[in-house]
Amino acid sequence: MMTKGSRILVLVAALAMGLVYVLPVWRITLEAPQYPEGMGMVIRINTIVGAKRHDLDNINNLNHYIGMRRIVPESIPEMKIMPVVVGAFILLGLLTAAVGRRWLLYGFMALFLAFSITGMVDFWKWEYDYGHNLDQEHAIIKIPGMSYQPPLIGARQILNFKAHSWPGWGGWILIGVGALGTGLAFAEFRRGRRNGLDAGAGSTSEPTSTTEAGNAALAALLLLGATTLSGCADPGPRPIAFGSEACAACLMGVVDEGHAAELVTRKGRVYAFDSIECLASYLGSLEDPGEVHSLWVTDFSNPPDLIRAEEAYFLLSPTLTSPMGMGLTAFSRVEDRDGAVNAFGGGPLSWAGVRATVAARWPDGHPAHGGHSQTMGSMEPMDSVGTHRGHGG
C-alpha cells in the first residue's frame, strides 16, 4: 500500500488537473517593430483563441502573405480529444488516491508520461506542418528555403518577428503533476523494495510514515521550481541567424557578421540589427528607453562575438564601410581599433559619440538601405578624439 502522504498528494494532483479546463495550456506570442504590443495565440484544452480580441485573425492574415494555412481550431482533432483524455487522468488519479495501491500509481504515471511525450511530439509536428507546408503558388511573400515554424518551447526569430512559445498556467500544472507523480512513484518503489513488498500486491496495513512521500514531493517541487526559474534568468544576447533574420530598424536581411548588433529588453526580447547605425537610430526612436536591458555590437576583429556597446571601441571610417554606409565599426580592444584607424583612416568614437553621430546624420529617421550618399558626408567624429578613446557611453 502507498503511504497516507502519497495518497493525499496524488489526490491533490488529480484535483489540480481540473484547473486545466479553465486555464491556458500554452501560449505563442509574436513580437515585431510594427506590432509594439505584440500578438499572441492562447491554446486551451479545447480551442485556440487570440491573446487579444483580433489577434488570431491578424495572425491568419499575416500567414496568408507567406502561404501558411489558416489556423481553424474546429479543424484540429486534438481539441476534441484533450478534454476527454484529461478527464480520464483525473478519474485515474482519484482512483489511485482512493485505493492506494502502488501498481495503480505506477500505471497512472506511466500512462501520464507517455501521454505527455506523445502530446509534445504531436504539438511539434503540428507546428512543423504549419510552418513548412506552404502554399507557395498563392503566397505574396516568397523566400526560397524559408520556413516559419515557431519553437516548441523558448524563443526564435522568424524574419522580423520574434516568436515565443511557453506553457500557460494549465501547462505548468500538468508539468507539476508529472514531476510530483514521478517523485512519488520513485519513493514508493524504493520503500516497497526496502520492506520486501511486492509492488503489485502490497500489505493491507496502512503505513504511518510519510517521510518518503514528503521527500519525494519536495524533490519534485524543487525540480519544477528550477525549471521555472531557468526561464527567468538575467536576459542577454543570442547568436544572430545571419541570412535569415531581418534588421529591426530597416527590415533588410542581417548578413554582415562584422557589423551586426542587438538590443535586449528587460523582458528578454532580442532585436537584431544589420549595422551599428541601425541600432543607434532605433534606440533614439524608442518612446520608453527604460525598457532596454542591454545593447550589443559585433567585435569586428572576432565576428560574430558580441560585446556591450558601452564597453566597445568604435571607428568612424570613410573606407571601412558598414551595411548602411555610415562606416561605423566596433572593436573589443583599443589596440585593434587603433590599428584599424591606421589601416583604414577615420577617427575613434565612444558609444555616446556614435549616438550623436547617427542623430546628426539621420535627423529625420532612417534613410534608404545602403544610402551611402545620404550618410557619409564629413567623416569628422562627433566627440573629441583626445578625450574619448572608446569608453564613455
DSSP string, 37-48: EEEEEEE-SS-E
What does the H/E/C string look like for 156-178? EEEECEEEEEEECHHHHHHHHHH
- For the segment 136-164, the average pLDDT, to the nearest whole number, is 81
- Maximum pairwise Cα distance, the chain: 91
Number of other residues whose CB lies within 10 A of the CB of residue 59: 20
Task: Please give the pLDDT value at position 77.
Answer: 87
Cell numbers at 306, concatenated: 558580441
Task: Please give the pLDDT value at position 328.
Answer: 96
- For the segment 54-81, the average pLDDT, to the nearest whole number, is 86
Assign 132 a pLDDT band (cuts: 50, 70, 90).
confident
Burial tier of 257 (Cβ tally within 10 Å: 0-12, 13-18, 19+): middle
Task: Please give the pLDDT value at position 335.
Answer: 93
Task: Please give the pLDDT value at position 50.
Answer: 92
Alpha carbon distance 244, 146 (integer Å) = 8
Percent of the chain with pLDDT over 70: 83
Which amino acid is located at 117 in the chain?
I
Domain segments of the chain as ranges: 4-142+151-230, 261-375
pLDDT tens digit string along 33-59? 777 778 999 999 999 999 998 889 888
**What is the DSSP secondary structure assignment for residue 149, as one 8-state letter?**
P
| Strands ordered across the beta sheet of 26-32 | 48-50, 35-43, 26-32, 161-167, 154-158
Cell numbers at 164, concatenated: 515565443
Task: Please give the pLDDT value at position 22.
Answer: 95
Q: What is the DSSP string of 265-316?
A: ETTS-EEEESSHHHHHHHHHH-S-GGGEEEEEEE-TTSTT-EEEGGG-EEEE
